[in-house]
Amino acid sequence: MDSADVYKNYFSVFRDIIREMHSHKDIDDVLSMGVRKTAGVLQAQGAAVQLFDQSSQKFELRAAWGMDECYFSNGLETSKRLQQLVHKNEKSHFIRDIHNASELTSAQQAWDAGIRLILELPLALDTQVLGVMRIFLTKERQFSNDELDFVLTVSEQFACVVGRVQCIEIIEAQYDHLAKYTEKMSSLGRMAAGIAHEINNPLAGILLYSSNLIKKVPDMSPLKEGLDIIMSETTRCKGIIQGLLEFARDREPEKVVTDINLIVKKSLQILKNEFHIRHIIVEQDLGDSMLVFLDENQIEQVLVNIFLNAIQAIDKNGTISIKTSTNNKRDELKIEISDSGCGIDNNQIDKIFDPFFSTKAKGTGLGLAVSYGIINNHQGNIRVDSQPGQGTSFTITLPLLSQVAEKQDRRF
Ligand SMILES: Nc1ncnc2c1ncn2[C@@H]1O[C@H](COP(=O)(O)OP(=O)(O)O)[C@@H](O)[C@H]1O
Ligand SMILES: [Mg+2]
């Protein structure tokens, strides 16, 4: 074959791979076709692609042509070795001493099958190793620069398509999670509203009758203690129902123009005694006056919920810091509340905004669910970061007044 034919071959294989990549086919189809054509054009015995699977932390064989599965090592060693190659910016690696190749799980079998040279190409985006392509040859030979250029370009295209597909998979998984979460929240909301209404009236009746009874029972009566318990437990149930109604009500915020720092100060004032009794230091770093358009009562409720959780996480002797700031574009306000409390376990952090999730003996698990709904209704965002044993930090973002005004202008 003269060099013009060789180039024509490279070009046609490359064109096939690109066409396959853009035809939205399954990633395995793209890889299978790619390894078959690449092996063909290089007159190799076979070729294969393994991709790194995050959940199993192993290299899984995804496409192979001309070679048996037993030649592909997938252990931790492979991962470390490829990582080192990528860090050293080595885009290709030849395995020439097949007999003693520690890179292979079945070196002897590869030798017996006639393999004398293996070309390895890590599939990487920046420094992240996504997988590896291997080309198996039956003759020990040198690769020309053109050949190497060709396989490198193929491997780079593979890395791009794998990266893109993984990115889409992550977005789809997040979207699914969000869709399920929203569905769960709305059906829970409807159910909660129904239950809360049904229970609220009988509870009021129990409270009324027990408080009447307790007035008639002498202090020394053995009935007193029981009645006290009935009253305190019924009051607790009313609190839970109140929270449920709040959660289910989903009312539109009654917005006014106000300064966020005033709401922060008011919320801190409400809990002033609690901070004092528990020796909790409150550090404030409030930015210049920041005008917002929001429901003061609702945002105050959110802040009090978060402060109360922080107080409970600290219990005694600790620090809560609160910072308000705007972003560079001055279209968004940020409220950061951090505490030096017990922190949240990694396996619980995804659940804390779920209604009724609570790790406290007397918790309702509604504080953060309600807060999440309120911030959402204000076109804002609430996020949590936590280090178990060290502390937790909540970040709320809300649109600033100019941004709100602009959005409303656009609507009319
Ligand atoms: N600052 C915090 N530090 C540690 N854990 C927290 C913090 N805030 C919330 N949590 C966790 O989230 C759960 C849910 O909080 P919340 O919805 O307010 O319900 P509740 O306070 O009634 O338990 C809490 O039970 C706790 O486990
Ligand atoms: Mg709470």
Q: Annotate 222-249 with DSSP letters as a single string.
A: THHHHHHHHHHHHHHHHHHHHHHHHHHH
Tokens of 134: 């291997």
Q: Whole-angstrom Cα distance, residue 260 to residue 324?
A: 8
- What is the atom index within ligand 1 of the atom nearest the CA of 357? 14
pLDDT (tens digit, 9 = 90+) per residue, 38-95? 999 899 999 999 898 887 888 888 898 988 766 665 555 567 778 888 888 888 889 8
Find the ligand nearest to 352 CA: 1
The three-point CA angle 58-61-66 to 5° equals 150
Q: Half-sphere exposure of residue 96, counting CA atoms within 13 Å on the CB side?
A: 6
Under 8 Å between Cβ of 382 and 371: yes
pLDDT, position 412: 36
Atom 7, ligand 1: which residue's CA is nearest? 309
pLDDT, position 24: 61
Residue 323's nearest CA partner among 288, 361, 285 is 285
Atom 25, ligand 1: which residue's CA is nearest? 358
Residue 83's nearest CA partner among 132, 144, 153 is 132
| Neighbouring-strand partners of residue 125 | 128
Q: Can you say whether residue 75 is alpha, beta or left, with left for phi > 0 and alpha for psi between -120 and 50 degrees?
A: beta
- What is the atom index within ligand 1 of the atom nearest the CA of 371? 17
Asked whether 305 lines ligand 1 (CB < 6 A), one says yes
Give every CB contact of residue 54 below 8 A, 6+ residues apart in sequence: none
Strand bridging mode 117-125 / 291-294: unpaired
Alpha helices (H) along 253-366: 260-270, 272-277, 296-314
Tokens of 215: 């007035």
- What is the atom index within ligand 1 of the atom nearest the CA of 365? 19
Backbone angles phi, psi at 184, to 5 degrees: -60, -45
Report, as ranges of residue numbers, the positions in the chain whose pLDDT lies below 50: 409-412
Asked whether 368 lines ligand 1 (CB < 6 A), one says yes
Most ligand 1 atoms within 8 A of CB, residue of 306, 308, 309, 384 to mutate: 309
Asked whether 391 lines ligand 1 (CB < 6 A), one says no
CA 300 – ligand 1 centroid, Å: 17
pLDDT, position 348: 94
CA 366 – ligand 2 centroid, Å: 7
pLDDT, position 199: 87
CA 232 – ligand 2 centroid, Å: 19
Asked whether 313 lines ligand 1 (CB < 6 A), one says yes
pLDDT, position 71: 63
Under 8 Å between Cβ of 260 and 292: yes
CA 193 – ligand 1 centroid, Å: 22
CA 229 – ligand 1 centroid, Å: 26
Under 8 Å between Cβ of 384 and 357: no
CA 305 – ligand 1 centroid, Å: 9
List the domains of the chain with CATH numbers: 3-172 (3.30.450.40), 180-249 (1.10.287.130), 256-411 (3.30.565.10)
pLDDT, position 80: 78
Asked whether 359 lines ligand 1 (CB < 6 A), one says yes
Q: Report helix, strand or coil for 154.
A: helix
Asked whether 310 lines ligand 1 (CB < 6 A), one says yes
Q: Residue 384, class by beta-carbon neighbours within 10 Å (0-12 exposed, 13-18 middle, 19+ buried)?
A: middle
Atom 4, ligand 1: which residue's CA is nearest? 343
Strand bridging mode 128-137 / 117-125: antiparallel
Q: What is the dihedral of CA 226, 228, 229, 232, to 10 degrees?
A: 160
Residue 258's nearest CA partner among 298, 221, 198, 308 is 298
pLDDT, position 284: 97
